[in-house]
Structures are given as structure tokens and as C-alpha cells.
Structure 1
Amino acid sequence: MVWELTDDVEAFASTSDDFLRSRPVEHTVFLTLVDTLRRRGLHAYGSGAPIFGQWRTDDGAVDGVLLQTPPHPMMFSRLPGGAVAAALDALAGRSLPGVNMLVDDAATFVADWPAPAAAEKMRVRLYRLGELTPPSPPAGTARIAGPGDRDLLVRWFSEFAEAINDVAEESPGPVVDDRLAYGGITLWEVDGSPVSTAARSRPEAGMVRIQMVYTPTVHRGHGYGGAATSAASRAALDEGASEVVLFTDLSNPTSNGLYQRLGYRPVLDRVVMEFSS
């Protein structure tokens, strides 16, 4: 059993596709990252070169993957026994800003990674939608965002990244443009003015992920975020998604409670660890 590392997204996609699509809910981020890198180029998430890895069993099957788009932490799938320790050897000498792993795997990796210090940045929970239960509708209506909303959305996406302390691109413009191109952003508006938004990913293996749910501070407390999320989830289902998923920050009880009321159910927990240089 061995890790195979590559900087070739096409090679990685061709050999890991069956593994990733075998559990599209669990592998939601890997599927959307690979799709984006293939469509928008290797520097879609930053100037650094991505790295991809596969854990091969003795019979050659893929049973685990890793992926990093610098400057973001390296993300690992669920790993079988022995793969975490082997990853430490395979990545020796590389400079990592951090890792994004299942909680138990992260504890093992961080204990032996040669960084001066490691700090927990965030714990997140993956949810999948059971039966969508829309909230009591607040004032307003949902609509799909269009090109005329671009400037507002660029500002909101920047505010969202700052709010969650995420490593953002210099400008979220390309991200907004990409989602506008396929109608992937829902707005909730009141009296013709947008007050909240929820984006959704392109479908991959029947899976769609709700992303970047954001309500500016001035509009919070009215149920607009829940309404936008519900509308975006319904749009994904209406377009044929068999699975709709989302992540929440476990330190935010408001969002975790909201999404469960909408019909989302827990799947797994991940932790993002940051390494000091």
C-alpha cells in the first residue's frame, strides 16, 4: 500500500473518479474541487500549484485521496488504517499551511507533523438533506441571481469569506461569474432589494452542495437566510439532484439548528488545523 502524488489533475481525475463517485456525499468537496480545476485551470484557487494524491491498496485500488489548492489547507478523505502514518512520510519536506481531515485522522496526523505548533481553526459538520421542510416564509420572494447582481454579490462573497476567516482569492469575481453562468446563486429579496443569498454547486454524481449562505448584518433576524437556503435546496432538487448537502461551523449553534429544522441531517465531522511556520 502506498501514496501516489501528482500535480496532474487529469491523471488524478481519471484514476480517482470511481472512488470519489462511490460516496458523493462524503466526497462532495473533492468532486467540486476537481471539476473546478479542470474547467477553470489549476490556479482557480490561488497562484500555487495544486497537489493530488491517492492511497493505493495492494491490488491497486484507490482507497483514499488528498488534495491541496494552495494557500488552503490540504484536504484528506476518510483514510484506511496505515494511510495517515504513510501520508506523513509521503509529504515529508513539504510546507503545509494546515490540514482538513476527519477529526480522528487529524489527531494522528497533527501529533507527528513536524510543525512548531498546530492550532484548531474550525470544526465543521457535513449534513445531507432528508426531506426538505421549508420554514414559515418571511417577507419577500426568491429569485435566481443574474449579471445585474454581480457587483453586489462580489461584495457579499468577500464579506462572507471575511466573516468565516477563510483564505480568499484576491477577488471573488471569478467565483461569482462561474456561479452566475449556470444560475447557481439564489437571492432572497424584499420589495425588490436583495437581503440574503445562498449559492449551490454544479451537480456532481447527483450531488449538489449549498454554499456561501450569507445575510448582511443589517438584514439578520428576519429568517431571510433560512428562506434563501430552502429556496436554493429546492432549486437543486428540482434540477434533479439526488443528494443535497452543506457544511456548517460547529461553533455556530444558530446555523446548525436552522439547517436541521430545514431537514438536513448530520453525516460526519471534520476539523481544520493550522500549522505555524
Structure 2
Amino acid sequence: MRPDAWHLTEDIDEFHARSADFLRSRPVLHNTPLTVMEKWRTRPGAFDPGSVLFGRLESQGGTRAIFYRPPTRRLTLTPLSPERADALAARLTRLGHTFSGVTADHHTAAAFAESWQRHTGATPTLRVRLHLYRLGTLTPPEPVPAGRGRLVGEQDHEHLVRWCREFAADVGEAVTVDAASWADTRFAEKRYTFWETPDGTPVSMAGVNPTVAGMVRVDPVYTPAHLRGRGYAGAVTVEVSRAALAAGAEEVVLYTNAANPTSNALYQRIGYVRVTDWAAYDFA
């Protein structure tokens, strides 16, 4: 493969114009770059120009793969063969780029991590393995816990920020989530729903990303530790999934930690079907 088949740019508008059709062609598999691109293009100040690198692989007159590197310097890739992953690693090494890690479908991430180590000597460490699910037939849990879903409003902001901070700590995200930093976090652009008990006490929450290419991603889902095991997470996930479908979403997706059998079993019970595995590697 010719190395110049990869076209690199720091111009998000140029990148979007040439890669949007490719990303929209597989909205489930491309859900992460779709939502990230939508945020960066529609929210002024979402990133500093020059801090992000984009790449697209052209072959036979069309885009076949893309990558982007945000300010965190963690590379995100769409699926690549091992040969193409190695060619990309070689190209980026020659250009002097450095990365803190890579996130992609499991096979692509593993192939790139191995190639990156071979070309640079950087030791990859698997940080987390994820399952990607898409909604099949929505199946509410039985029995449904007492209570109801309610959209989160401005009056709930302090409560929401606290729960997002607790969620980030639970999943090991190295981010600061408080009133001052909220607007710059990945949590800010989402719409949230609380599950409340009959007396109006919030006991669980679920967020959804804005719809893009007919696809909605559920993220995050969180129940405080002392309230788990009572069906609240399933109930609130059904609530936001049903609302997304009612609003016209063609696909509803979510990620789970592969090491958490409880959440994986829960989402399968309510109708989510596993699509593929994802992985995130850190580079020493």
C-alpha cells in the first residue's frame, strides 16, 4: 500500500467534507467518531485549532478508514487490516508524531499497538476492553421497579455533576468533573434522565448523545453503589432507549466494560445485541 494513501490534516472542515459519507455509512461501528466530529464541528471552542490531527485512507476513489488524535494524544481508529495498521504506524513514526495510546475495535487496536511498539519501542498496555452493543428489540425488565423516568432539568445540575463525577471515578477516567469544568467535559453535551422512586428521589441516571446519522449512543448509565441490584439501571436505560426510538433514532448503541458481567447481562436482557469488541491501549 502506498504510504501517501493516508491524507493528514488539521482542518476539521476539510476532513469532514471528505470523510462524512464514509462515517455515516456504518453509524453503529463508527458511533464514536461520528459523535466526536459532531461535537467538535458544532460547539465553538470544543478544541484548540492545531491540537487535533485527522487522517483518512483513500483507496479506489473513496475513503476506507479514518483516524483522529485529540488533545489527549490518544489515537482513535476505524477498522484496519493488520497490514494497513502497520503502514499507518510507520507513516506516523516517520513524521515524528507521538501518542499516549490507541482506541479502536479490538483487532485494529491490537494490531496498531503491536506495530507502534515495533516502530517506536513504546510498550503498549491494555487499559480496558469494551463490548459494543446495538439495540435489537427493546424488552422492558420484569418486574419494573417502582417509580418513573424524568428528564433532568436545570434544578438538578448539581446532582447531575456529582453523579457524573462518581461515574468517572468508577470507570477510571482521569478527568475533573465539577461546576467549573463541566462545560469542557464529555458529559456536557448529553441529555439526561433520572429514574425516581415514587417519592421523587433520584436513584439512577442515563445520558444520551445527540442524534447523528440516525444513531444515538447511551452514555453514561450510573447507579450509586448502595442502590444497585434493584433494577434501576435497566429501567432508566429502557426509558432513554424508548425515548430515542420515539424521537426517530434508527440505531441505539452503548458500550460496556467487558469485565463487568452484571452490566453485560443486563443490557442483553433488555434487548441489546453485541456487535464487536473494542480495546484501549496505553503507550509507555
Question: Do residues 178 (structure 1) and 189 (structure 2) align?
Answer: yes
Partner residue, 1:75: 76
Give the secondary structure class of the aligned counterpart of 1:124.
Answer: strand
**Rounded Cα–Cα distance in structure 2 between residues aligned with 1:259 and 1:72:** 31
Contact 1:42–1:49 (8 Å) recurs in 2: no
Q: Comparing 115-124 with 264-273, which one deviates more in the overlay?
A: 115-124
**Rounded Cα–Cα distance in structure 1 between residues aligned with 2:50 and 2:173:** 17
Partner residue, 2:64: 63
Superposed displacement of residue 213, structure 1: 0.2
Which whole-Å deviations, capped at 9, do the CAs of 1:170-190 have from their partners, x for residues lacking one?
6462255533xxxx2111011
How do 1:1-277 and structure 2 match up within 5 A? Answer: 1=2, 2-41=5-44, 43-44=46-47, 49-57=51-59, 59-71=60-72, 73-80=74-81, 82-92=83-93, 93-113=96-116, 114-135=120-141, 136-169=143-176, 171=178, 173-174=182-183, 175-179=186-190, 184-190=191-197, 191-276=199-284
Considering only aligned residues, what root-mean-square deviation do their CA atoms show, in Å? Answer: 1.9
Q: Letter of the aligned partner of 1:129 in structure 2?
A: L
Superposed displacement of residue 68, structure 1: 2.1
Contact 1:43–1:49 (8 Å) recurs in 2: no
Give structure 2 stretches of 5+ with no counterpart: none
Q: Comparing 156-165 with 67-76, which one deviates more in the overlay?
A: 67-76
Give the secondary structure class of the aligned counterpart of 2:211.
Answer: coil
Tell me the TM-score normalized by structure 1. Answer: 0.92
Q: Letter of the aligned partner of 2:57 in structure 1?
A: W
Residues 199 and 47 from structure 1, CA distance in 2 versus in 1: closer, same or farther, beyond 3 angstroms? farther
**Rounded Cα–Cα distance in structure 1 between residues aligned with 2:58 and 2:45:** 24
Q: Letter of the aligned partner of 1:173 in structure 2?
A: W
Count, aligned residues: 270
**Rounded Cα–Cα distance in structure 1 between residues aligned with 2:145 and 2:50:** 43
Q: Letter of the aligned partner of 1:14 in structure 2?
A: A
Superposed displacement of residue 38, structure 1: 0.8
**Rounded Cα–Cα distance in structure 2 between residues aligned with 1:73 and 1:167:** 13
**Rounded Cα–Cα distance in structure 2 between residues aligned with 1:36 and 1:169:** 19
Superposed displacement of residue 23, structure 1: 0.5
Give structure 1 stretches of 5+ with no counterpart: none
Give the secondary structure class of the aligned counterpart of 1:70.
Answer: coil
Contact 1:52–1:68 (8 Å) recurs in 2: yes
Residues 208 and 56 from structure 1, CA distance in 2 versus in 1: closer, same or farther, beyond 3 angstroms? same
**Rounded Cα–Cα distance in structure 2 between residues aligned with 1:42 and 1:273:** 28
Identity score, percent: 40
Residues 154 and 47 from structure 1, CA distance in 2 versus in 1: closer, same or farther, beyond 3 angstroms? farther
